[in-house]
Structure 1
């Protein structure tokens, strides 16, 4: 079956993204071929394209962790029929119009459920829910600081925390983003472009600090944020947007490279700093959950249940044609987006 995918031909800028045709083999007996309607875009895709995501391997490879669509072909033992609606997690390969996926990495959708909304669920909500339940052990009445609160994970985490009755602090790079995030549960917004988030959190809490931290920045922002935790506080870090090196060609961007290196070197957390205040720090890498399918499927079942009940609603900032993946990446890199971005194919309704 003829298929198309977006490939990272080599590490670098958006110019390395190429659309290629290939022959997709028939699905194995426990697989399905999905006619992809929508594929999710995540910041990890950009990190992989730049060459800083170890699990991506060497080019060429196709990014993409999540797709929604309908079954084009079904293996005999897959449990699916042609034209069934489906949501799937993919270990790369999502930027395609057709993809083969093992049945145990898929989730059946009801016939009329929104495929666009569904495609925006797995990566950000799985990361958030795993972090909150198994890293932070969050509970009603606690306070949490969420960095990049208007991004895909920020909105997902805010909705999950709102549903559990947490007090939510959040940072973003503009007042507009904070106003947007307030629609999804944010209580205390901090404009990181004009305010010192440490000072603002301490001001709002009367220097008592916060219970929980969900960090996506890394670097010195993580170190400063840990200083805000109360005794018995818990933190999870899920990324390093604040220390990400420039977009390829380090020698052509020496200032950016030096800044990134400085952030990396200064982002040191000594074990005694954790012990002396009885606080904990964990890291979460979503892709590794792909190897723990029972756990992943349990989380996804919770997410789908709340989504179907209207308690979770991903915000889709924009949808781009598959061939315009580079434009979508540029949009994310501009740091002006809110929520989630998707790719669509010719199969989309």
Structure 2
């Protein structure tokens, strides 16, 4: 059965002004889909990359990859979900900025009672990102000292808490003293205010000259070289985002000169390719919430029609923690 809902669409690339609130038809779900009446939608830098055209998708299109809500209809071949289930997703096809939509069922997980809709929308993409970074890309054992850029952001505050739960000393970076304090309050061992301090020098001091075995860098171009300089010989540079622009023109000789370094450019989709792996990663995340070892900090809430303002705040580094669109 087809229903009509409000959704954000873009017809061409540009600034926040290209986001338009329109009415769209949501058909009944295909055999491998579920229809979700959404309660909250998570905002992420990747949404801005698609809006500006840094990442390409055929126009016109929606935006957003993570949300939470209630299952309204279930496709014929779907077995793990039923109407009325409380669910969330963090790795859907583009188009989460909507009141309701159809989503492939293998991208959707049930959320436990301990997790609210706002929390789920705020943490699925970000939390699953930290899960694959810390538990799969470079599997932290506990006892390591690591460097994590943008520690006061949505991903960063989850990373601070997860590192603490694992017994890992997380050195974060942040742009203001207030953001540095926020990251420390969420479990960062030390935070470097990069507007006032030299990141490489501080990492050397904090590690007694040993540097770190792994750097997690979602900032991209602006932090690339400094990140490499913070790594131990044979250390791993995990470049997982481009908040400051893409890393380009990489000189492989630099990796040799700086100590036979490794580099990976991972994405979440490769680490959770099946419904089983997606649910397992989500359960890892939900378990920390249930044990009260993690709290999701939602710094900002916006209405769906104010999605442009929300993206502007995110891009302008005016946000802390997660930003969500609420649909209730």
User: What TM-score does the superposition give when structure 1 sets the normalisation length?
Assistant: 0.87
- Structure 2: gaps spanning 5 or more residues: none
Residue 160 (1) aligns with residue 162 (2): yes
Kept in 1: contact 2:299–2:323 (CA 8 A): yes
Deviation (angstroms), 1:103: 2.2
Deviation (angstroms), 1:76: 4.0
Kept in 2: contact 1:169–1:187 (CA 8 A): yes
Kept in 2: contact 1:84–1:111 (CA 8 A): no
- The aligned residue for residue 182 of structure 2 is 180
- The aligned residue for residue 7 of structure 1 is 9
Aligned runs of 1:35-54 on 2, under 5 Å? 35-54=37-56
- The aligned residue for residue 282 of structure 2 is 300
**Whole-angstrom CA distance in 2 between matches of 1:9 and 1:286:** 27
Deviation (angstroms), 1:272: 6.1
**Whole-angstrom CA distance in 1 between matches of 2:115 and 2:278:** 21
Question: Aligned residues, how many?
Answer: 324
Aligned runs of 1:123-272 on 2, under 5 Å? 123-219=125-221, 221-243=223-245, 264-265=248-249, 268-271=250-253
- The aligned residue for residue 258 of structure 1 is none
**Whole-angstrom CA distance in 1 between matches of 2:182 and 2:93:** 31
- The aligned residue for residue 63 of structure 1 is 63
Distance 1:234 1:21, change over 3 A: same
Deviation (angstroms), 1:309: 2.1
**Whole-angstrom CA distance in 2 between matches of 1:269 and 1:141:** 32
Distance 1:25 1:43, change over 3 A: same
- The aligned residue for residue 30 of structure 2 is 28
Deviation (angstroms), 1:106: 1.3
**Which one is further off, 29-38 or 9-18?**
29-38
Residue 282 (1) aligns with residue 284 (2): no
- The aligned residue for residue 329 of structure 1 is 311
**Whole-angstrom CA distance in 2 between matches of 1:313 and 1:271:** 42
Deviation (angstroms), 1:164: 0.8
Kept in 1: contact 2:16–2:311 (CA 8 A): yes
Distance 1:274 1:137, change over 3 A: farther
Kept in 1: contact 2:31–2:77 (CA 8 A): yes
Distance 1:326 1:272, change over 3 A: closer
- The aligned residue for residue 78 of structure 1 is 78
Distance 1:75 1:264, change over 3 A: closer
**Whole-angstrom CA distance in 2 between matches of 1:76 and 1:242:** 43
> For 1:121, what is the secondary structure of its paired residue?
helix
Kept in 2: contact 1:135–1:235 (CA 8 A): no
Residue 342 (1) aligns with residue 324 (2): yes
Deviations 1:81-103, CA, capped at 9 Å, x for gaps: 43221112322111010111222
Kept in 1: contact 2:109–2:278 (CA 8 A): no
- Structure 1: gaps spanning 5 or more residues: 245-262
Distance 1:276 1:332, change over 3 A: closer
Deviation (angstroms), 1:289: 4.5
Deviation (angstroms), 1:264: 4.2
**Whole-angstrom CA distance in 1 between matches of 2:222 and 2:154:** 22
Deviations 1:73-128, CA, capped at 9 Å, x for gaps: 23344344432211123221110101112222211234574111111121111112
